[in-house]
């Protein structure tokens, strides 16, 4: 069961081989069996999942099933879910029951997908290792001493260990692609504006974008097409047609031009990771693609620019958590100031405070021009780099992260080295471009993802490229040994 694609699950449901209730129970059992090892879920919504599965079975019986009806899934715990705990990995929202559904949640509910639960994440999506969660670190299913990547580490680990067939995530600077790479699953962050941010707890609004995790590009295509689309409740949502991504997966790659940015292969890239990427590119050549050397000259500015823009937006977004309206409030405040200070002081973790302080500093009078405005100018230069590149090539490829999953605790005392793990992912968020991670091999026995970067709204092309590769290789079919046993 755990190796079935979404299409195969749909066939099984349609033919009556199993019901949605049985399928949902199967994954709930796996969560019970393995979540203690992984800490991938913050909440498991068993009752609701089974009720949704029952409704899905009725829909299937009535002949009204859609492509995903009855297939269970999980949401990153920053998508608001009506009546269900939505913590964002923070003590601040430890008891927050969302009063409404995020658009993405609404859409996947409407698609008939039973929600198994909410997945663990770095607090307010700030992190690259999932060690910043108030609910404890998530473990990598390939090696429990290692991180699964972050901030959507719970979703990545849950899919890798097949505790759920698919899951949602969000990516502000790499939080879908980097955990997908570290955990050996496929993940896609679409173009900014493709997926509604309504009901997604905001970290850095001009960068945040929801996306999908699955075992394969085909599964991601199916989930992403159900999540995407214009939403008038999100002013940055873009009103463009959503193609049936899953219907464009068999296009030939003959003559397709793949750009290799030289800046992505310079110092800092682990040689084992570089070797995996090199082999993947050879595979693409065999499939008929042409490899072209390109340059993205402002790559080195992406991390510094991001660490001004993202904290600036975060400091503003997180000002709503004041202990008054909702969220954590300290015990017995002396007065109003004490209440604000202690509620925020006790409710937020260290990394979140670090970002709020940096952001507030960058936006303060006198520093705004020196930091924030300058970072915005760099942001333009970075997107111009990509614009130039896409005149020469159809897609860009490279590593997702400079190395494979590191040990839990290895980088916790060194935020700068943690920030560097997003060196190849962050520029896309600054430019608003889509990117994905595709399992392409291993180095030191840990998974390595190949990054595919597309031009705006070209998710279909990227998913096809990933699917062609997955037809020719089987890296995406491998599952971590301790979690691959079937009951
Ligand atoms: N690691 C980056 C950060 O900490 C990106 C996180 C994300 O994409 N949400 O901000």
Structure confidence by residue, pLDDT tens digits, 359-408? 999 999 888 889 999 999 999 999 999 999 999 999 999 999 999 999 99
Give the whole-number percent of the chain exceeding pLDDT 70.
99
Q: Give 172-218 pLDDT, tens digit per residue.
A: 999 999 999 999 999 999 999 999 999 999 999 999 999 999 999 99
Q: Based on the structure, what is the number of domains in the chain?
A: 1
Ligand 1: does its nearest atom lie under 6 Å from the Cβ of 202? no
The whole-number average pLDDT for the span 100-107 is 98
Q: Are 358 and 350 in contact (CB under 8 A)?
A: no
Residue 326's pLDDT band (cuts 50, 70, 90): confident
Q: Which of 120, 130, 172, 306 to mutate to test the pocket of ligand 1 (most atoms within 8 A of CB)?
A: 172
Domain span holding position 453 = 6-258+391-483
CATH of the domain at 41: 3.90.1300.10
Q: Give 131-148 pLDDT, tens digit per residue.
A: 999 999 999 999 999 999
Residue 137 lies in a domain: yes
Q: Distance from CA of residue 284 to its chain's centroid?
A: 25
Residue 302 lies in a domain: no
Residue 172 lies in a domain: yes
The whole-number average pLDDT for the span 39-68 is 98
* DSSP β-ladder status, 435-443 and 186-189: antiparallel
Residue 361 lies in a domain: no
Pick the catalytic residue: 4, 76, 139, 411? 76
Residue 486's pLDDT band (cuts 50, 70, 90): low
Residue 487's pLDDT band (cuts 50, 70, 90): very low
- Can 175 be counted among the known catalytic residues? yes
Ligand 1: does its nearest atom lie under 6 Å from the Cβ of 151? yes
Ligand 1: does its nearest atom lie under 6 Å from the Cβ of 172? yes
Q: How far is CA 150 from CA 85, 173, 179, 319, 321, in A?
A: 21, 10, 5, 23, 23
Q: Are 362 and 306 in contact (CB under 8 A)?
A: no
For ligand 1, atom 10, which residue shows the shortest CA distance?
A: 126
Q: Give 429-478 pLDDT, tens digit per residue.
A: 999 999 999 999 999 999 999 999 999 999 999 999 999 999 999 999 99
The whole-number average pLDDT for the span 48-73 is 98
Q: Give 240-270 pLDDT, tens digit per residue.
A: 999 999 999 999 999 999 999 999 999 899 9
SS (H, E, C) 181-218: HHHCCEEEECCCCCECCCCECCCCCCCCCEEEEECCHH
More confident site: 439 or 419: 439
Residue 438 lies in a domain: yes
Pick the catalytic residue: 43, 175, 246, 421? 175
Residue 403 lies in a domain: yes
Residue 100 lies in a domain: yes
CA 49–ligand 1 middle distance (angstroms): 30
Pick the catalytic residue: 19, 43, 133, 151? 151
Residue 204 lies in a domain: yes
- Can 67 be counted among the known catalytic residues? no
- Can 54 be counted among the known catalytic residues? no
Ligand 1: does its nearest atom lie under 6 Å from the Cβ of 149? no
Give every CB contact of residue 209 below 8 A, 6+ residues apart in sequence. Answer: 170, 171, 172, 189, 190, 191, 192, 193, 194, 195, 197, 429
Whole-number average pLDDT of the chain: 97
Ligand 1: does its nearest atom lie under 6 Å from the Cβ of 125? yes
CA 471–ligand 1 middle distance (angstroms): 31
Beta bridge partners of 297: none
Ligand 1: does its nearest atom lie under 6 Å from the Cβ of 422? yes
Q: What atom in ligand 1 is closest to the CA of residue 419? A: 1
Which pLDDT value is given to residue 44?
98
């Amino acid at each position: 069961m755990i190796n079935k694609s979404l299409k195969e699950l749909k066939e099984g449901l349609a033919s009556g081989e199993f019901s949605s209730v049985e399928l949902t129970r199967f994954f709930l059992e796996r969560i019970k069996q393995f979540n203690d090892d992984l800490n991938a879920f913050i909440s498991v919504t068993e009752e609701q999942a089974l009720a949704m599965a029952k409704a899905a079975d009725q829909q299937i019986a009535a002949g009204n099933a859609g492509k995903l009806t009855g297939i269970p899934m999980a949401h990153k715990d920053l998508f608001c879910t009506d009546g269900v705990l939505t913590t964002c990995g923070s003590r601040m929202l430890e008891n927050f029951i969302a009063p409404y559904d995020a658009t993405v949640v609404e859409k996947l509910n409407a698609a008939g997908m039973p929600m198994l639960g909410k997945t663990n994440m770095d607090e307010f999506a700030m992190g690259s290792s999932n060690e910043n969660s108030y609910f404890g670190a998530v473990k990598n299913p390939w090696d429990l001493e290692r991180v699964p990547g972050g901030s959507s580490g719970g979703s990545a680990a849950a899919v890798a260990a097949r505790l759920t067939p698919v899951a949602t995530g969000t990516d502000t600077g790499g939080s879908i692609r980097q955990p997908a790479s570290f955990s050996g699953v496929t993940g896609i962050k679409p173009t900014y504006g493709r997926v509604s941010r309504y009901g997604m707890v905001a970290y850095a609004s001009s960068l945040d974008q929801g996306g999908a995790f699955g075992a394969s590009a085909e599964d991601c295509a199916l989930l992403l097409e159900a999540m995407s689309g214009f939403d008038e409740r999100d002013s940055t949502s873009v009103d463009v047609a959503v193609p049936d991504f899953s219907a464009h997966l068999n296009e030939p790659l003959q003559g397709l031009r793949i750009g290799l940015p030289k800046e992505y292969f310079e110092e800092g890239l682990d040689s084992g990771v570089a070797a995996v990427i090199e082999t993947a590119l050879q595979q693409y050549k065999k499939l008929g693609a042409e490899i072209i050397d390109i340059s993205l000259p402002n790559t080195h500015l992406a991390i510094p620019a991001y660490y001004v823009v993202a904290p600036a937006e975060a400091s503003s977004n997180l000002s709503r958590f004041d202990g008054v309206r909702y969220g954590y409030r300290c015990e017995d405040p002396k007065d109003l100031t004490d209440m604000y200070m202690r509620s925020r002081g006790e409710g937020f973790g260290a990394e979140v405070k670090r970002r709020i302080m940096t952001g507030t500093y960058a936006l303060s009078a006198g520093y705004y021009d020196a930091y924030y405005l300058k970072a915005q100018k760099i942001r333009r230069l970075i997107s111009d780099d990509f614009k130039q590149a896409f005149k020469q090539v159809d897609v860009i490829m490279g590593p997702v992260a400079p190395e494979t999953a590191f040990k839990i605790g290895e980088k916790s005392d060194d935020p700068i080295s943690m920030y560097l793990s997003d060196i190849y992912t962050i520029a896309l968020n600054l430019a608003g471009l889509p990117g994905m991670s595709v399992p392409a091999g291993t180095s030191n026995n840990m998974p390595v993802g190949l990054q595919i970067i597309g031009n705006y709204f070209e998710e279909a092309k990227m998913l096809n490229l990933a699917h062609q590769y997955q037809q020719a290789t089987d890296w995406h079919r491998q599952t971590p040994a301790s979690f691959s046993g079937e009951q």
